[in-house]
Chain A
Amino acid sequence: MAVLSVTRSRRVGRGITRLFTLPGWERRVGLAGVLVVALLATAAPLLTAYDPTVLDLPHALQPPSLAHPFGTDPFGRDIFSRVLYGARIDLQIGLIGVAIPLVCGTAIGLVSGFYGGWIDGIIGRIIDVVVAFPFLVLVIAIVAMLGPGLVSFYIAVSLVSWVAYARIIRGEVLSARGREYVLAARMLGYSDARIMFRHLLPNVVPAVFVFAMSDIVLDILTGASLGFFGLGVQSPTPEWGVMIAEGRDFITTAWWMVAFPGLAIIVVGLFFSLVGDGLADVIRRIDAR
């Protein structure tokens, strides 16, 4: 394949600048929000003096105060710092948990849609089987088999989530395959790989980015659900879902244990949704030209 570096970086640059400059408050607010959260998570050690895992029983179950803005849990741990450190885990869950299926699902969908025939047949059947199961049930089943923990979570989500991406990409490829610029590429003697990755991929990938945003939210919630069931991240590592689970018995007495991690999930989810909405808008506007 020819050298693509200069033109590709120009193209990516063009895309990224468009993300910021085109009108639409959703995307900008969403992106800003996500960046702020990421910043806060990274800067956690600077923002809080408390170690999120260290016990401090004398200060257990204290309501929000100046010393502990989000209160403390039954072990005396500062919830504010646990939320901040938890952000690292949850953002990771969201992003990595989406990145792997996105890449795998896209590649599979590309090949499936481009070649059709028996390849598409087999992949299609596999997709049908996976899709027949409810997402959470499958994930829980796989995690239960592999043992709880973050790695099991990533494996489970990857094994299940890729189908959604493959389906979307396959659909887009099927419709794009007949477009004349693809026929022209074939006429120009381009290899299949070049057509798939250089011509089809850039045009079909925007469709999955929007879905990916909502998938990030779903992953965070799934991680939280698993944590809630005790199958996710293990104590004492802070993770919002685990924190909510721990606060389950204290809802009436120590509402802050559930409220703040819950709020964190909602807020981050909202930001990613906004980015997704904004992206959908941008794509629609670009394609409409």
Chain B
Amino acid sequence: MADPLLAVEGVTKSYGQAAWGGGRAAVRARPALDGVSLALDRGEILGIVGESGSGKSTLARCITLLERPDRGRVVFDGTDLTTLDAGSLRRVRRQMQIVFQDPYSSLNPRLSVGDALAEVLRVHRLVAAAAVQSRVAQLLEMVGLPATAAARYPADLSGGQRQRVCIARALAAEPRLLIADEAVSALDVSIQAQILNLLLDLQHDLGLALIFISHNLYVVRRIARRIGVMFAGRLIEMLPDGMPLEAAQHPYTQALLAAAPRVGRPIGTLERQDADLVPTLPAVGCPYRARCPAAFEPCAEVDPPLAPGPQGHLIACHRVMGQLSQS
């Protein structure tokens, strides 16, 4: 069994803010990422689903060390990134690229497409100086853009085209891991489908490992076989390859599924949630308990750990684990 390409172990990150008015008795805000662990094999696609505040973007930034985790390790290809100095980190970084959500701020407005791609090749000396132009053309072709796009500036391109350029730029670095952080969320529906296909094709052709982050459950399901669900900075369920979404057991995952607008679902079957009427996340115990229909005593006392549940997959829920001990 080969070592995973990426192993995230117990990563925690807080964005510190002193409690208003100070004092130790003040409620501690929950960390943005709370002890998240996951592993990814070479060439595997992992999906991460979460709403805003779930920590999914923080996870992407901590994996790539764009933000330094407060605790935990990020082991990429055998090396713990958290121990690297700035120079070594810069060298390793090339192998993991991110495609961001906003196609409009993801590209330097003053660089032409060709210049942006050529820069990657030149800085890392990936091809001989004479071969740069042809490699740029090749990269553009890989993402479905004409070679003439090299002379254009981001302002001349549509959202979908810009996103393709971002993908080309990421590929120029010849990464082994690609992280798509809400990469299609800002695009029109018909363009979304094109870019999703592009990502799937590239992943398949180049053997890339892909972490696909989105708030849209259906999009993630389409792309990924393994899906991690995040809530309040924690992984609360990990759906394995082959497990349908509908079989998810965590109450939050089920709530997401029930709420996701779906063509074909008639009016009036949207479930009652009262999600935003709950003021803040409780500081102790399961963060979801304030909204959870299945909450009971243990939920208020102890954070449920992510552990194998009755269906054999990882889940963080006392109620579900309670079933396990009963059986």
Contacts and interface: CB of A to CB of B under 8 A. Distances in A.
Contact of B90 (A7, A184, A191, A286): A191
A7 B150 CA distance: 12
Contacts of B94: 188-189
A2 B105 contact: no
A183 B100 contact: yes
B120 A199 contact: no
A180 B100 contact: yes
Given A189-B173, A203-B108, A184 B100 contact: yes
A186 interface: yes
A185 B108 CA distance: 9
Interface string B105-146: 111111110010001101110000000000000000000000
Given A2-B123, A183-B98, A189-B123, A203 B110 contact: yes
Contacts of A11: 110
Contacts of A287: 109
B58 interface: no
A85 B232 CA distance: 71
B91 A181 contact: no
Given A180-B106, A199-B108, A186 B123 contact: no
B102 interface: yes
A229 interface: no
A2 B122 contact: yes
Interface residues of B, number: 31
Interface string B205-244: 0000000000000000000000000000000000000000
A184 B124 contact: no
B64 interface: yes
A133 interface: no
B123 A188 contact: yes
A125 interface: no
Size bracket of the A interface: 20 to 34
Contact of A194 (B66, B91, B93, B123): B123
B193 interface: no
A289 B64 CA distance: 31
Contacts of A180: 100-102, 105-106
B81 interface: no
A47 B295 CA distance: 92
Nearest to A190: B123
B96 interface: yes
B119 A2 contact: yes
A181 B105 contact: yes
Given A2-B123, A180-B102, A188 B110 contact: no
A202 interface: yes
A198 B107 CA distance: 13
A187 interface: yes
Nearest to A192: B86
A186 B92 CA distance: 11
Interface in B239-296: none
B54 interface: no
A179 B111 CA distance: 15
B66 A187 contact: yes
Nearest to B94: A189
B12 interface: no
Contacts of B115: 7
Nearest to B106: A180
Nearest to A203: B110
A181 B100 CA distance: 9
Contacts of B110: 11, 202-203
A3 B101 CA distance: 31
Nearest to B166: A184
Interface in A157-175: none
Contact of B96 (A185, A187, A191): A187
A287 B120 CA distance: 25
B106 A187 contact: no
B164 interface: no
B169 interface: yes
A255 to B, nearest CB: 51
A203 B122 contact: no
A150 B119 CA distance: 44
A203 B98 contact: no
Interface in A1-19: 2-3, 7, 11
Interface string A253-289: 0000000000000000000000000000000001101
Contacts of B170: 184
B98 A189 contact: no
B112 to A, nearest CB: 8
Contacts of A189: 90-91, 93-94, 123-124, 173
Interface centre among A183, A189, A202 (most CB of B within 10 A): A189
Contacts of A184: 98, 100, 106, 166, 169-170
A198 B118 CA distance: 14
B155 interface: yes
A119 to B, nearest CB: 15
6 contacts: A7-B115, A180-B100, A184-B166, A186-B93, A187-B97, A189-B91
Given A180-B101, A188-B173, A189-B94, 9 more contacts: A180-B106, A183-B100, A184-B100, A185-B108, A187-B96, A188-B119, A188-B124, A188-B169, A189-B123
